[in-house]
Chain A
Amino acid sequence: MSTDATVTGVSGMLSAQAGAGGVTRGGAWSRPDGRRALQLVLATIWLLDGVLQLQSFFFTKNFGLQMISGMSQGNPSLIARPISWSGTTIGHHAVLTDTFFALVQIAIALAIAWRPTVKVGLGASMAWSVGVWWVGEGLGGILNGAANPVNGAPGAVIIYALLAVLLWPSDRTGRKAPFIAARAVGEPVAKGLWLVLWGSLSYFALLGANRSAEGLHDLINGEAAGEPAWVAWIDRHSAGLVDHRGLTAMVVMAILLAIVAIGVYLPPSCANVTVVLAIVLGGAFWVVGENFGALFTNGATDVNSGPLLMLLAAAYWRRARSGDPADPATAAESAPSLEGA
């Protein structure tokens, strides 16, 4: 018998001895399965966001009066007014509000990470994300024509909410889920959400100014300001590649995004190819259009959409075959082990 199997056996025995009564008191602490691992990645991103919120810029009036209020531009009055009001309020109480924002995000991270409060954390993640999507991101620019998937449309924070829904720790009875995202909401709903998200990205790619010959060039070039030299170099050279070819580039991108959108309905092997394509696109957006979430400018509140799109794509990865021990859907049922940090 291998050492691992032995330790698992010992662990199982200890778990059985511990009895029932909660996760920590003998509810058989088990090694994180695929879904739990994705939850922990989400928690890690929330923690990063929370600590980013502690940068000095966000304790100044400029955070509310410039950054937040600026999100109202071009939005319908119904959407813009609450944003402007929030921006003014946050600007005038910068220290208090920013401290609160940081604490909420850190608390969400810790709640997701601590098993007894994972549902509280994911629920808070949904509520907070929707609020921030409106006030902090102006609905990702989808109503003012500024949305472009290259620089983060439809808003990173709404993907947090989507992930919280898809990674909810419950399982639908009946058929075994073919991928992690389908475990909580079922396969048809999970596929529908994927189609809507990636389909909307494809649509935004061809929206308004994004179709112009210089639109993509100007967008990427404009991101270089304030970045380290090597990031600015990537921006300038990427912008040079699409100079005067904006329409062609965006049409190609829209096609790729559409392929990803419908890929979830393809047979498993083809669907996984489109999942890989989604991860590649998410990574490309993060590096080129989002400049690593602008983390190096001391003004980033989150990591932007790239890593979240990649995390989301991982939740749609189909297992190799039914009943595979590595299957995330079945791993949770396997015997616990003494896996350590």
Chain B
Amino acid sequence: MTSPAWLNDLFAAVMVVVAVYSTGRLVAARMWSRPTHVDVDAAHVLMGAAMAGMLVPAIDPIPNGVWEVGFSLLVVWFVWRCYQFVTEHGVEGRDDDHVHHLSHYVTHLVMAGAMLYMYLAAVTPPIGSGGGMAMGTARGTTADLVLLPLAFIVVLFASGIWELDGIGRFAPGGPGRPRPELAYAAGSAAAAGGTAPAPGGPGVPSVAGSDLSDQEDQHRESGQVAPWLAPRLESSCHIAMCVTMGFMLILML
């Protein structure tokens, strides 16, 4: 099953923007000492570039085998991150940013798995067969494994929708904007029986066991606040990737 070339081009353009933005995000976070999920941003770069290449094969110079290895490693990485999260915070707990749950990593595990599926299950259409994705509809045995991509699609779309629902948390001054200082406030509140000090205020004690970088510690000691790097744009990238990946998987059903 192919799709109109202009539609593939449109989705590919969005993915290129996401990949470029995520790359810039990694650089900016390092330059400005702003907290961000490095592994998630790196995954967005890889997935964005790979999906753009699948949608418009002419812009993908990397062999499929390399992508397959890359996404296999990404799957392993997010399995490890899930395990690490559960051991540190439990299934019901929240990340050190007090916003993200285990589902944050599970979703990215699913995304990495979906990318791997698309490379492994699909059959490349013959040369000269016209426009369309590099990956055609799944064939043969894989065509019977349609519940797997359907499950991927459901998780991806649900994740995109829930992300959009929660995007209001990240408005400036909003209640859920992930800030490292929240960790201090929450920890202090726990110690004080629920009375939390002003976020980012002076004299906020540290939280035992929190996994913050040295730079964040410096910010804390100097009383400065290092706000999370553009969380709404990060969410928007996530939503765009979920929709695009779901679109590609639907074409492979």
Residues of A within 8 A of B (CB): 1, 3-7, 9-11, 13-15, 17-18, 23-29, 32, 36, 40-41, 43-44, 47-48, 51-52, 54-56, 59, 95, 106, 109-110, 113-116, 228-231, 292, 295-296, 298, 336, 338-341
Assembled-state Cα–Cα distance A244/B106 (Å)? 48
Report which of A26, A229, A292 forms a contact with B173, defined as CB distance below 8 A.
A26
A307 to chain B, nearest CB (A): 10
B27 → A minimal CB distance (Å) = 25
Considering the complex, give the chain A residue whose CB is closest to the CB of B143. A228
Q: Is B157 an interface residue (CB 8 A)?
A: yes
Q: Which of B59-67, B93-101, B117-125, B218-226 contacts A (4 or more CB under 8 A)?
A: B93-101
Residues of A within 8 A of B95 (CB): 340
The CA of A44 and the CA of B157, in the complex, are separated in Å by 6
Cβ proximity bits B162-193 to A, threshold 8 Å, 1 near / 0 not:
11111111011111100000100110011001
Report chain A residues within 8 Å CB of B137.
298
Pairwise interchain contact A338-B246, C-beta atoms closer than 8 A = no
Q: Which residue of A5, A18, A40, A298 is within 8 Å of B175 (Cβ)?
A: A18
Q: How far is the CB of A290 from chain B (nearest CB, A)?
A: 14
Give the complex CA separation of A41 and B165 in angstroms.
11
B175-A340 in contact (CB<8A): no
A295 to B154, CA, bound (A): 12
Q: Complex Cα distance A188/B114, Å?
A: 45
Chain B residues, CB < 8 A from A32: 165
CA distance in complex: A23, B168 (Å): 7
Q: Which interface residue of B104, B172, B194 has the most chain A CB atoms within 10 A?
A: B194
Q: A3-B190, A48-B157, A54-B247 are in contact. Are A341 and B171 (CB under 8 A)?
A: no
**Interface assignment of B103: CB less than 8 Å from any CB of chain A:** yes
Does B189 contact A338, Cβ atoms closer than 8 Å?
Answer: no
Q: B-side interface residues toward A, CB under 8 Å?
A: 1-4, 7, 92-95, 98-101, 103-104, 107, 137, 143-144, 146, 150, 153-154, 157-169, 171-176, 182, 185-186, 189-190, 193-196, 199, 235, 243, 246-247, 250-251, 253
> What residues on B are CB-neighbors of A338 within 8 Å?
94, 98-99, 169, 175-176, 182
4 tightest Cβ-Cβ pairs between the two chains A and B: A24-B168, A24-B171, A340-B99, A113-B164
Bound CA span A45–B44, Å: 25
**A18-B175 Cα distance, complex, nearest whole Å:** 7
Instruction: Report how many A-B pairs have Cβ atoms within 8 Å.
Output: 163
C-alpha gap A116/B92 in the complex (Å): 28
A7 to B97: give the CA distance in the assembly, Å. Answer: 11
Given contacts A6-B186, A229-B144, contact A51 B247 (CB under 8 A): yes
CA distance A40 to B162 in the complex (A): 7
Q: Decide if B103 touches A341 in the complex (CB within 8 Å).
A: yes
Residue from A5, A6, A229, A341 in contact with B166 in the complex, judged by beta carbons closer than 8 Å = A341
Q: Which of chain B's residues has its CB closest to A31's CB? A: B166
B174 touches A1 (CB 8 A): no
Whether A25 touches B175, Cβ cut-off 8 Å, given contacts A48-B157, A52-B250, A229-B144, is no
For B186, the chain A residues whose CB sits under 8 A away are 3, 6-7, 10
* Chain A residues, CB < 8 A from B174: 18, 24-26, 29
| Whole-angstrom CA separation of A230 from B141 in the bound complex | 11
Of all chain A residues, the one with the shortest Cβ separation from B11 is: A54
Distance of A27 Cα from B161 Cα, bound (Å):
20
Residues in A whose Cβ lies below 8 Å from that of B107: 341
- Docked complex Cα distance between A47 and B194 (Å): 40
In the bound complex, how far is the Cα of B131 from the Cα of A56, in angstroms? Answer: 12
Give 20 new A-B contacts, CB below 8 A, not counting A26-B175, A29-B175, A338-B182: A3-B94, A6-B186, A10-B185, A10-B199, A11-B175, A18-B174, A24-B171, A29-B166, A36-B165, A40-B161, A51-B243, A51-B247, A56-B2, A59-B3, A95-B4, A295-B150, A296-B150, A296-B253, A341-B101, A341-B104
Measured CB to CB, the nearest residue on chain A to B242 is A47
| B176: A residues at CB distance < 8 A | 11, 29, 338, 340
Q: Which one of A1, A25, A41, A341 contacts B194 once the chains associate, using CB atoms below 8 Å?
A: A1
Query: Nearest Cβ distance between residue B84 and chain A, in whole angstroms?
Result: 17
Q: Determine the chain B residues whose CB is within 8 A of the CB of A336 once the complex forms.
A: 175
Interface contact B154-A44, CB-CB below 8 Å = yes
Taking CB as reference atom, which chain B residue is nearest A307? B154
Select which of B99, B144, B165, B167 is within 8 A of A40 by beta carbon. Answer: B165
Distance (whole angstroms) from the CB of A46 to the closest CB of chain B: 9
Query: How far does the Cβ of B171 sit from chain A's closest Cβ, in whole Å?
Result: 4
B4, B143, B160, B168: the one contacting A47 at CB < 8 Å is B160
In the complex the two chains form, is A1's CB within 8 Å of B150's CB? Answer: no
Closest CB-CB distance, B244 to chain A, in whole Å? 9
Contacts of A28 in B (CB 8 A): 175
Complex contact A56–B1 (CB within 8 A): yes
CA–CA, A151 to B95, complex, Å? 45
Establish whether residues A296 and B146, one from each chain, have CB atoms under 8 Å apart when the complex forms.
Answer: yes
CB distance from B223 to the nearest CB of A (A): 19
- Bound together, the chains give a CA A55 to CA B196 distance in angstroms of 52
Which of these, A23, A24, A29, A47, contacts B161 with CB under 8 Å? A47
Chain B residues, CB < 8 A from A43: 161
Query: How many angstroms between the C-alpha atoms of A195 and B201 in the bound complex?
Result: 58
* Whole-angstrom distance between the Cβ of A58 and the nearest chain B Cβ: 10
- Nearest chain B CB to A54's CB is how many angstroms away? 6
